Copies of this chain bind each other. A is one copy, B any other.
Amino acid sequence: MTKTELIALCDAARASLPSLLSADSRDRILAALPAALIAAQDKILAANDIDLTRAREKGISAAMLDRLTLTQSRIADIAASIDEVRALPDPIRCEYEDTRPNGMHITRHRVPLGVIAMVYEARPNVTVDASVLCLKSGNAVILRGGSEAIETNRAIVAVLRDALSPFGARDAVSLIEDTDRESVNILLTLRGHVDLVIPRGGAGLIRNVVDNARVPVIETGAGNCHVYVHSSADISMAVNIIINAKTQRPSVCNAAETLLCDAAIAERFLPVAAAALREKNVELRADSAVMKYIPDATPATDDDFAREYNDYILAVGVVDNVEQAVRHINKYGTRHSEAIVAEDSAAAEYFLTHVDAAALYHNASTRFTDGGVFGMGAEIGISTQKLHVRGPFAMEALTTTQYRVYGNGQVR
Contacts and interface: CB of A to CB of B under 8 A. Distances in A.
Chain A binding surface SS class: mixed
Interface stretch (A55-63, A262-270, A387-395): A387-395
Given A195-B386, A374-B106, A360 B411 contact: no
Contact of A390 (B357, B402, B410): B402
A405 B357 CA distance: 12
A404 B360 contact: yes
Contacts of A113: 386-387
Interface string A103-129: 010101000011000000000000000
A240 interface: yes
Copy number of this protein in the oligomer?
2
A75 interface: no
Given A21-B353, A216-B385, A405 B368 contact: yes
A387 B386 contact: no
Contacts of A21: 353-354
A237 interface: yes
Interface string A400-412: 1111111111111
Contacts of A408: 237, 363-364
B244 A403 contact: no
A216 B386 contact: yes
B400 A387 contact: yes
A312 interface: no
Interface string A343-365: 00000000011101111111111
A101 to B, nearest CB: 10
Nearest to A370: B412
A18 interface: yes
A236 to B, nearest CB: 9
A369 interface: yes
Interface in A26-42: none
A407 B360 contact: no
Given A356-B114, A361-B405, A412 B368 contact: yes
Contacts of A106: 374-375
A411 B248 contact: yes
A234 B405 contact: no
Given A240-B411, A367-B412, 12 more contacts: A98-B375, A104-B368, A113-B386, A114-B386, A216-B385, A240-B409, A244-B411, A358-B403, A359-B402, A363-B408, A364-B411, A368-B410
7 contacts: A100-B375, A104-B364, A108-B391, A114-B356, A241-B411, A364-B405, A364-B407
Q: Which 3 A-B residue pairings sit nearest by Cβ, starting from the closest?
A: A364-B407, A244-B411, A386-B400
